[in-house]
Amino acid sequence: MVETPSNPPSGLSDVPPEKRPRHIAIIMDGNGRWARRQGLPRIEGHRHGVASLRRVVEECGRLGIEQLTLYCLSSENWKRPPQELDFLMQLLEQYMIEERSGILRQNIRISVIGRREGIPDRALKQIDKTLELTRENTGPRLCLAINYGARAELVDAVRAIARGVQSGRLDVESITEQTIDDHLYTAGMIEPDLLIRTAGEMRLSNFLLWQLSYAEIWVTEKTWPEFDEALLHEAIRDYAARTRRFGGLEE
């Protein structure tokens, strides 16, 4: 955990653009806990979480963050009650419809990573429409991890590489880390520089295990519905103050 600095400068005027992360990944946790504290049903926590999502997407765009990746639904989340899952799917469909105009206005390019199996056709239809409409956008990338699990991603990558070897397109001895990168759901994307996790949780939860190898981690006790621009600034400011050595020595 990071202590909040006393009287930090407003905004991020004290952090030059070159010190800011290019790619931020967020595990959005604590919607249910927030709702319980308010005496509300869990689904209201998810609804309020969408407002936080909107704030963060807009602020990352304003700050010049090149990519924001959000853990929306893990492959393990299917264990939740059917009523909650139905609501999450409706919320996903609604988000794709209601936020589409704003996404286009901000020149954001949408990407989705994860397996499509299990996601209702109505939600898939709206996802695909948004993907197509934003395909040529040249602004920041918003990557949504939906029905995503990092282990499943690695399994899919290994299968694809094995098929390449079997067909003769790949030679076993020529397989490198870049080969694996090229077969992940995130192929062509830059790796996350900063991972933010809300609600005080201290684990990766099967999220971007390969891609987060050298990411800086920042955790807040605040739940996702409480996450706002000030907390985003705090995380970026802390990131900018760290020395990233990537296994080397500090000069």
Known catalytic residues are 29, 77
* Under 8 Å between Cβ of 113 and 74: no
Task: Say if strands 67-74 and 23-27 run parallel, antiparallel, or are unpaired.
Answer: parallel
Separation CA 54–CA 65 (nearest Å): 15
Q: Which residues contact 98 (CB under 8 A, 6 or more apart)?
A: none
Q: How many other C-beta atoms can be found within 10 angstroms of the C-beta atom of residue 172?
A: 8
Reported in sequence order, the residue ranges of 94-137 that DSSP labels E, i.e. its strands, are: 109-113
Q: Which residues contact 134 (CB under 8 A, 6 or more apart)?
A: 103, 104, 108, 109, 110
* Under 8 Å between Cβ of 203 and 8: no
Beta bridge partners of 69: 25, 143
